Structure 1
Amino acid sequence: MGILYLVALLVSLGGMVVLDRRFRLFFFDRPRRAAVVLIAGVTFFLVWDVLGIGLGIFFRGETAFMTGILLAPELPLEELFFLTLLCYLTMNIFRGAHILFARERAGRRREAP
Structure 2
Amino acid sequence: MGLLYLGALLVSLGCMVLLDSRFRLFFWADARRAAIVLVLGVVFFLAWDLAGIGLSIFYRGETDFMTGILLAPELPLEEVFFLTLLCYVAMNLFTGAARVMEKRSAGGAAS
State the TM bucket, normalised to the shorter chain: over 0.9
**Where does residue 21 of structure 2 map in the other structure?**
21
**Where does residue 51 of structure 1 map in the other structure?**
51
Instruction: Supply the AA of the counterpart residue of 2:37.
Output: V
**Where does residue 3 of structure 1 map in the other structure?**
3
Question: How many percent identity over aligned positions?
Answer: 68
Residue 41, structure 1, aligned to residue 41, structure 2: yes
Deviation, 1:109, is 1.1
TM score, norm. by length of structure 1: 0.98
List gaps (5 residues or longer) in structure 1: none
**Where does residue 77 of structure 2 map in the other structure?**
77
> 1:87 is paired with a residue of what secondary structure?
helix
Give the Cα separation in 1 of the matches to 2:28 and 2:68: 33
CA RMSD of aligned residues (A): 0.3
> 2:63 is paired with a residue of what secondary structure?
coil
TM score, norm. by length of structure 2: 0.99
> 2:71 is paired with a residue of what secondary structure?
strand
Instruction: Supply the AA of the counterpart residue of 1:11.
Output: V
Q: Which of structure 1's runs of 4+ aligned residues deviate more than 2 A?
A: none
Residue 95, structure 1, aligned to residue 75, structure 2: no
